[in-house]
Amino acid sequence: MNKIKIMESSVAKWNRIIEGKSTDGGVLDCPPCRIYYMLLCIGCPIAQYTGKKFCKGSPYIPWYWHQNNVHGKIRKKVYCPECLHLATDMRDFMIEIVESMKEKKKEKARNSRKNKSAV
Ligand SMILES: [Zn+2]
């Protein structure tokens, strides 16, 4: 599975949460976590983007603490307008990462074409 696809499924996960159709199971249902968390969060596109492990520096942290401190339920999902706001932040951040990965991929392709034509 390529990294862009993994992050796109993360965007889809947060869209389902925003629509109230799904809950956030954290590590258990986070598409990149399922692959990278086992390795102590090495190589996850989110960690590569923020430069920090375990989703630090991402909107996941305010979501996580809001869920814990305000709602304190086992299921993390949209309970109030603030939840919706925080989940939307997280979804937008996942999109931002997908976009940046796609941009990098394009750049790479451009560079390799450049190198070939120079030879
Ligand atoms: Zn809330």
Alpha-carbon distances, residue 90 vs 39, 56, 68 (angstroms): 23, 12, 16
Q: Please report which confidence band the pLDDT of residue 37 belongs to, taking 50, 70 and 90 as the band edges.
A: confident
Under DSSP, the state recorded for 42 is: -
Give residue 70 CA to ligand 1 midpoint distance, Å: 6
Residue 119 has pLDDT above 60, yes or no: no
Separation of CA 65 and ligand 1 centre (Å): 10
Does residue 61 register a pLDDT over 80?
A: yes
CA 99 to centroid of ligand 1, rounded, Å: 28
Higher pLDDT, 8 or 36: 8
Å from CA of 82 to ligand 1 middle: 5
pLDDT band at 20 (very low <50, low <70, confident <90, very high): very high
C-alpha angle with apex 9: 15 to 59, nearest 5 degrees?
60
In this prediction, residue 35 has a pLDDT band, given cuts at 50, 70 and 90, of confident
Handedness of CA 36, 50, 65, 85 (dihedral sign): negative
| d(CA 53, ligand 1 centre) in Å | 25
**Helix locations, the chain, DSSP H:** 3-18, 31-36, 45-50, 60-66, 81-118
* Phi, psi of 60, deg, nearest 5: -65, -35
Alpha carbon of 104 to ligand 1 centroid (Å): 35
Percent of the chain residues topping a pLDDT of 70: 95
Q: How far is the CA of 44 from the centre of ligand 1 (A)?
A: 27
Distance 36 CA to ligand 1 centre (A): 28
Q: pTM of this prediction? A: 0.84
Q: What is the mean pLDDT of the chain?
A: 91
Residues 26-38 as b/e (b if ≥16 CB within 10 A, e otherwise) read: eeeebbbbeebbe
